[in-house]
């Protein structure tokens, strides 16, 4: 009985890894699209901004004067990133993170966050109710052509553009040393220089996100209901939200670009998929007074950095249901790395620590399974003798268990308790940026990449190199199966022996850090099982 339960558990683990059942995102909020003639749903309706009448020159969304010169590119450099803005709309065209590289190659350039065509560069600006005045194609004038922070703590860059009737719009970016946050303000003034309350909408175009069955990449935002991860699968598909909002962002596994409306009690979002490779995102905060203030986060999804930035940005690292277990595990992993300076060794140490914590439970479960294996002949006789009397058979079985002081499910309960820890660590090793480009030893120079040993002149179809660590993991799993007591029928036993092959193929595409954890865990389980098998009956 307990072996059948064990088989079910192992099969469940396999299904979960393949289809990410446990890691499905939370349900997306059902908020109706906010059309111009449709009122937002009850409970989600943000208060309207203060009704301050705008000057007549600004109200009908006037057309600005034609540009007299080509738009220039303005560069910004701090200790953490290099940015490029275009005067065409004052938009961001490039963001290169200086402490991260595109690949593990030594000559790899800094990582680029902006991966959309220049014509669709993010941070386009719209003014007026419903974004009637689109300034994305308007040539602004920058107050300088380059900004280099140097030893300063902060520096500002201003873009201005005239509006009909003598008004002016100014967008100001402020950059800070040692921070991935950029302040952005948008201010409209009339011909007399007075600030004008003006609905402000920011375009936040982003790539659609690479398809990955194990991780999420794409648009997400954070509300009082928690993290919302939005999957727009078809061209033209839309998603709308109105209500309190902390941030709107685009992220992949390791990096995040986010817009944060500062001081707005509520915001409106409109997301729309454009073709196969791009998503248009618009955010319209309900600011109560000018100027419109935003913050931009352009950086890594490292929990400590995100938490320091505030606004619940750390929730962008989504460990799913296992978050309460995953975050302490990540803390321990980083603690070990602080002294060992090698995340591969830290993974081994963390695996050993987890194994030691569960050793008593696993030991008890293995002993119970061994006892159950020895009772199989007696169990078979009872089942055969009372095949036609289920009630009598159950009484005899319970008496047998009582006589030998064994719990029929005693071998499975300890394993069930370990499953949440396994999945939490699985998520940590899969999603943590600390694993990205982290070397271990020998041929493993990136724990976030699949394990491949590259030999000159040797290339395996569909794999490239030889997955040495993955093969060792499969062998260790097979050895563990052979050593474990079994009370399965022949068909189930054959299925169990086939599982190492399935797991090996599954792990071929997973990060080597995960494979390392599983391999070490298998080896420790083999050692523990060998110790159990040597115990006297």
Higher per-residue confidence, 70 vs 55: 70
Going by the DSSP 8-state scheme, the letter that residue 31 receives in this structure is -
Q: What is the average pLDDT across 416-429?
A: 84
- Most confidently modeled of 55-64, 112-121, 458-467? 112-121
What is the pLDDT at residue 38?
Answer: 39
Give the phi and the psi of residue 349 in degrees, each rounded to 5.
-65, -40
pTM of the model: 0.80
pLDDT band at 211 (very low <50, low <70, confident <90, very high): low
Q: What is the average pLDDT across 476-499?
A: 70
List pLDDT tens digits, range 3-22.
444 455 555 555 555 544 44
**CB distance 241 to 269 below 8 Å:** yes
Neighbouring C-beta atoms of residue 420, cutoff 10 Å: 15
Give me 236's structure tokens.
Answer: 């033209």
* Cα Dmax for the chain: 101
What is the pLDDT at residue 390?
Answer: 80
**CB distance 245 to 267 below 8 Å:** yes
pLDDT band at 346 (very low <50, low <70, confident <90, very high): very high
Separation between Cα atoms, residue 425 and residue 431, nearest integer Å: 10
380 contact partners, CB below 8 Å, separation of at least 6 = none
Separation between Cα atoms, residue 231 and residue 275, nearest integer Å: 14
Higher per-residue confidence, 106 vs 255: 255
- Most confidently modeled of 1-5, 62-66, 294-298? 294-298
**CB distance 28 to 432 below 8 Å:** no
Q: What is the average pLDDT across 35-54?
A: 39
Inter-axis angle of helices 512-533 and 490-507, nearest 10:
150
Q: What is the average pLDDT across 497-515?
A: 85
What is the pLDDT at residue 161?
Answer: 93
What is the pLDDT at residue 248?
Answer: 95
Share of the chain above pLDDT 70, in %: 77
Higher per-residue confidence, 208 vs 294: 294
Closest CA to 442 of 454, 459, 460: 454
What is the pLDDT at residue 414?
Answer: 63
Neighbouring C-beta atoms of residue 253, cutoff 10 Å: 20
What is the pLDDT at residue 188?
Answer: 93
- For the ranges 107-116, 246-255, 416-425, the lowest mean pLDDT is seen at 416-425
List pLDDT tens digits, range 118-137.
667 889 899 887 667 889 88
Give the chain's mean pLDDT.
80
User: CA 469, 472, 476 angle in degrees (round to 5)?
Assistant: 140
What is the pLDDT at residue 45?
Answer: 40
What is the pLDDT at residue 42?
Answer: 38
- Most confidently modeled of 142-156, 210-224, 364-378, 381-395? 142-156
List pLDDT tens digits, range 149-171.
888 899 999 999 998 888 899 99
Higher per-residue confidence, 457 vs 84: 84
**CB distance 287 to 127 below 8 Å:** no
Q: Is the dihedral of CA 143, 149, 151, 152 positive or negative?
A: positive
Separation between Cα atoms, residue 231 and residue 208, nearest integer Å: 9
Helix (H) or strand (E) holding 390: helix 390-403
Sketch out the chain's domains with CATH numbers: 73-318 (2.70.98.90), 326-534 (no CATH)
- Most confidently modeled of 38-52, 237-251, 491-505? 237-251
pLDDT band at 497 (very low <50, low <70, confident <90, very high): confident
What is the pLDDT at residue 43?
Answer: 38
DSSP alpha helix (H) spans, 375-511: 376-385, 390-403, 413-431, 468-483, 490-507
Q: Is the pLDDT score of 173 beyond 90?
A: yes
- For the ranges 112-126, 387-401, 497-511, the lowest mean pLDDT is seen at 387-401
Separation between Cα atoms, residue 502 and residue 479, nearest integer Å: 15
Q: Is the pLDDT score of 177 beyond 80?
A: yes
What is the pLDDT at residue 361?
Answer: 73
């Amino acid at each position: 009985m307990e072996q059948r339960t064990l088989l079910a558990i192992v099969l469940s683990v396999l299904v979960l890894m393949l289809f990410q059942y446990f890691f499905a995102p939370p349900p997306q909020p059902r908020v109706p699209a906010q059309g111009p003639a449709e009122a937002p749903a009850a409970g989600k309706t943000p208060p309207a901004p203060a009704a301050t009448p705008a000057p007549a020159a600004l109200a009908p969304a006037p057309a600005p004067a034609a540009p007299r010169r080509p738009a220039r590119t303005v560069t910004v450099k701090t200790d953490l990133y290099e940015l490029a803005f275009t005067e065409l709309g004052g938009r961001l065209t490039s963001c290169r993170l200086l402490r991260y590289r595109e690949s593990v190659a030594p000559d790899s350039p800094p990582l680029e966050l902006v991966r959309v065509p220049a014509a669709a560069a993010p941070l386009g600006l719209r003014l007026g109710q419903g974004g009637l005045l689109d300034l994305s194609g308007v040539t602004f004038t920058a107050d300088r052509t380059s900004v280099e922070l140097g030893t300063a703590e902060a520096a500002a860059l201003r873009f201005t553009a005239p509006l009909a009737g003598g008004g002016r719009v100014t967008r100001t970016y402020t950059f800070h040393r040692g921070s991935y946050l950029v302040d952005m303000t948008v201010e409209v003034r009339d011909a007399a220089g007075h600030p004008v309350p003006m609905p402000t909408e920011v375009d936040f175009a982003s790539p659609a996100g690479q398809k990955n069955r194990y991780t999420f990449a794409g648009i997400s935002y954070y509300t009082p209901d928690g993290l919302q991860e939005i999957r727009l699968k078809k061209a033209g598909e839309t998603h709308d939200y109105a209500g309190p909002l902390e941030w709107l962002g685009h992220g992949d596994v390791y990096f995040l670009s986010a817009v944060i409306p500062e001081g707005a009690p509520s915001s409106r979002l409109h997301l729309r998929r454009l073709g196969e490779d791009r998503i248009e995102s618009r955010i319209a905060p309900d600011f109560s007074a000018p100027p419109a203030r935003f913050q931009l986060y352009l950086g890594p999804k490292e929990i400590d950095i995100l938490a320091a930035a505030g606004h619940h940005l750390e929730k962008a690292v989504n460990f799913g249901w296992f978050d309460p277990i995953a975050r302490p595990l990540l803390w321990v992993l980083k603690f070990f790395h602080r002294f060992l300076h090698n995340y591969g060794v830290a993974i081994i140490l963390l695996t050993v620590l987890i194994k030691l914590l569960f050793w008593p439970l696993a030991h008890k479960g293995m002993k119970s399974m061994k006892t159950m294996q020895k009772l199989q002949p007696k169990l078979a006789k009872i089942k055969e003798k009372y095949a036609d009397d289920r009630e009598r058979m159950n009484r005899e079985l319970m008496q047998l268990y009582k006589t030998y002081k064994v719990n029929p499910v005693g071998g499975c309960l300890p394993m069930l308790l370990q499953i949440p820890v396994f999945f939490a660590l699985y998520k940590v090793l899969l999603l943590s940026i600390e694993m990205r480009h982290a070397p271990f030893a020998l041929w493993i120079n990136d724990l976030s990449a699949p394990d491949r040993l590259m030999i000159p002149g040797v290339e395996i179809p569909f794999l490239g190199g030889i997955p040495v660590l993955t093969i060792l993991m499969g062998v260790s799993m097979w050895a563990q199966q052979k050593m474990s007591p079994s009370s399965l029928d022949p068909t189930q036993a054959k299925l169990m022996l086939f599982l190492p092959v399935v797991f090996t193929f599954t792990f071929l595409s997973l990060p080597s850090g995960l494979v390392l954890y599983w391999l070490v865990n298998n080896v420790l389980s083999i050692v523990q099982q060998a110790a159990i098998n040597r115990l006297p009956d």
